[in-house]
Structure 1
Amino acid sequence: MIVPIVLTQAANDAIDLAAVTSRAKARVLAMRGKLVQTWLFPRDFGGPPDRANELFVPPEAARRIEALIARLLAQRGDTPPRMMTVHPAYRGDSIVPTSITYSIHPGTDRVTIPVW
């Protein structure tokens, strides 16, 4: 009798983002594709390419951030640049924010992107 053996990937590939408490841990997870390195304050809006602006988020959150920035750039068009403030929210010692709120001034444009 032949019995087929089926290998499956573990159903729970989730990572504990609360345990990502250092850049070293975040970089390891980024190498494994679990996190993506991006920028807290978007480079397209003048954010610096330095460590203080570096951000690690899951791939899905990175896609939502990229979509938001693309939308904001498209809306900007020929109008004068407006100010943007970025407020990340954190839980515990994690360096991965739980959410990021982008506010455009002047005006009331405010978008919060949930991360985890």
Structure 2
Amino acid sequence: MPTVSIAQAPRRASAVRPDYSQVTSLAAARALAAEGKLVKILLFPAELGGEDIPENVAYIPPYAAEARQLVIGTLRRFMADELIDKLEVVPEYRGESFVPTKLVMHATHSKKKGSLHPTVEIW
């Protein structure tokens, strides 16, 4: 797997994209995390009240975790500015993989118009 030092995976058609289709168990995801190839995250971020419980845990590559942190920073600012007060995080998976292909977030406010729908593309 190529080393990526920026917050997103390569986008060029010729770039090699990671393939996590063979990571079909929690044990396999944890093994890759032990090697530093994946990192444990909370789908609903701890910074926004998410709990470290099995249903809220996923494993993603470090570059995707960096991109996710940028999104969380924006969401925290929007919450502090009272622009949003609700968040839904929907992971999308391919096949039997334990590594999501993307994290789709839906941020809204219960009393204000508008919404924010950031997506972290993973593989």
- Please say which of residues 77-86 and 21-30 is displaced more in the overlay: 77-86
Whether contact under 8 Å (2:43, 2:58) holds in the other structure is yes
For residue 17 of structure 1, what is the aligned residue in structure 2?
Answer: 20
Distance 1:12 1:104, change over 3 A: closer
For residue 13 of structure 2, what is the aligned residue in structure 1?
Answer: none
TM-score under structure 2 length normalisation:
0.77
Task: Structure 2: state its 5+ residue gaps.
Answer: 4-16
1:62-106 C-alpha deviation (Å, 9 max, x unpaired): 000111101211222252761101111110000111011111013
For residue 116 of structure 2, what is the aligned residue in structure 1?
Answer: 109
Distance 1:74 1:21, change over 3 A: same
Whether contact under 8 Å (2:105, 2:118) holds in the other structure is yes
Distance 2:70 2:2 in 1: 27
Match 2:68 to one of 49, 62, 65: 65
RMSD value, Cα: 2.0
For residue 31 of structure 2, what is the aligned residue in structure 1?
Answer: 28
3-state SS of paired residue (2:90): strand
Question: How many matched pairs?
Answer: 106
Task: Structure 1: state its 5+ residue gaps.
Answer: 1-10
Distance 1:63 1:84 in 2: 19
TM-score under structure 1 length normalisation:
0.82
Say which one has the larger Rg.
Answer: 1
What letter corresponds to residue 115 of structure 2 in structure 1?
A: T
Distance 1:12 1:104 in 2: 32
